[in-house]
Amino acid sequence: MVVRNVDGVGDHDLNCLSIEELERHAYNMMDKQTRDYYNEGADSGSTLRENIEAYRKYRIRPRVLRDVSKINTEVKLFGHTNTAPIGVAPTAMQRLAHSDGELGTARACRNMGIAMGLSSFATTTLEDVAAECAGEVPNVLQLYLFEEREHSKKLIARAKKAGFKAVFLTVDTPFLGRRNLEIRNQFKLPPHFKIANFAEEEEPALADETTPNAPNQSRTRQKAKSSSKPGYHDGEKRVYPTGPITFHSHAANPTLCWEKDIEWLKEECCPEMEVWVKGIATAEDALLAVHHNVRGIVVSNHGGRQLNGALATLDALPEVVEAVQGKIPVHVDGGIRHGTDVFKALALGADFVWVGRPALWGLAYKGQAGVELMLKLISDEFKLCMGLAGVIKVEDISKDYLVKVDRSGFVSRL
């Protein structure tokens, strides 16, 4: 049921008034394999949980008696006006959640004026997604840079042609993290879906596995072949498969490094698309990113799906911001579930945030309409938070509006 709100914030879906409720609805809409794949983190999942809990360590210091009748949540991103400093993070295989898949997410982003990141491992082609947004919102292509550069080269050329504004090179995934539910479920993309951006590259299947994370299974199924093929790294041994494009067969690339790959990528993308790195978590790497002239950083631990035990992204953010000194934009993702989380991340120095799983839950709940609902919930909460904290412009959000509360309840200014 949708009712018109009286507080001026907008319409409400009375069944779903928060991202928490959205998560609960989505839980019941997804089959077990999809739910486990989307929701789990690596190993014990402690980094996934800490990404969320990190936001609870901060409290907001509201200022009052300021005229907050006109609040502007807009920010510029890649030359576009984004209605809030929030984007939808790239997440793979969205058609598992709902038949609307990535097109539903794209339409929702377009309708809401919100940037969208498209995964290399999408179940919809980048051309179809770009056409849906028709240049109205900036689209970012997330890139797994294949060891076999021809695959990546083609993809980058297509992204340029389709009008993507930037590529986010994911740098936290030289190997895939250990996701135990995925392994136990023997996760497979059902045969009626395709990893669409690479569908034409596929060779006749020797193996039908499309699992992103089933190392034991892959080992037994994949056959060694010519060394000119991309492969996955299995300890000391490289395995070169044929068959459908999978993360294991074509994307895991433990050879990636700053000198060789970032320079190459900048040349390939230049000048049409900006090259950013996604998955930075330390000041040292942030400085290297600046040194190599990448255009921006996303502080990310892949939603706790890669290195479990890594620092929560909100806790890693301050050292990255400090190192970068405003030379390039710093974005953050991981664990953002409330408008107040967006406010806190910005107060700690982020320029922009990306949300991952909530978009998947929105898709599972109601397809495109569910993603719109998610974006509306979080954007409305953010706007309300700004107003109640006494801020009317995004650029005025600063650490003056936060305090940190430690485990014993001790409150400190930042």
Ligand X SMILES: CC(C)CC(=O)C(=O)O
Ligand Y SMILES: Cc1cc2nc3c(=O)[nH]c(=O)nc-3n(C[C@H](O)[C@H](O)[C@H](O)COP(=O)(O)O)c2cc1C
164 binds, among ligand Y, ligand X, none (CB under 5 to 8 A by kind): none
Annotated ligand binding at 170? The verdict is yes
Task: In angstroms, give the least distance from the CB of 195 to ligand X.
Answer: 8
Options 85, 87, 90, 230; binder of ligand Y; rule CB under 6 A:
90
How far is CA 409 from its chain centroid? 32
> Rounded CA gap, 332 and 87, in Å?
10
> Rounded CA gap, 21 and 23, in Å?
5
Options 138, 231, 335, 349; binder of ligand Y; rule CB under 6 A:
335
**Residue that is written with structure tokens 């969208």 in the block:** 116
Residues numbered 137 to 176 that lie near ligand X (CB under 6 A) are 176
Name the residue number minimizing CB distance to ligand Y: 356
Annotated ligand binding at 334? The verdict is yes
- 302 catalytically annotated: yes
Q: Residues 289-328 vs ligand X: string with x where CB under 6 A?
A: -------------x--x-----------------------
Which secondary structure element, helix H or strand E, spans residue 59, and what is its range? strand 58-60
SS3 at position 290? helix
212 binds ligand X (CB under 6 A): yes
Q: Residues 131-170 vs ligand Y: string with x where CB under 6 A?
A: -----------x---------------------------x
Which secondary structure element, helix H or strand E, spans residue 139, and what is its range? strand 139-143
CA distances from 279 to 237, 286, 336, 380, 390 (A): 26, 10, 16, 28, 32
Task: In angstroms, give the least distance from the CB of 188 to ligand X.
Answer: 12
336 binds, among ligand Y, ligand X, none (CB under 5 to 8 A by kind): ligand Y
189 binds ligand Y (CB under 6 A): no
Q: At what angle do helices 101-112 and 357-366 cross, to 10 degrees?
A: 110
At residue 104's C-alpha, the angle toward residues 103 and 105, to 5°, is 90
> Rounded CA gap, 132 and 65, in Å?
43
List Cβ neighbours of 8 (8 Å cut-off, separation of 6 or more). Answer: none
Task: CB nearer to ligand X: give 139 or 300.
Answer: 300
334 binds ligand Y (CB under 6 A): yes
Q: Catalytic residue numbers?
A: 302
Binding site for ligand Y (CB under 6 A): 37-38, 51, 89-92, 119, 121, 142, 170, 278, 300, 302-303, 305, 333-336, 355-357
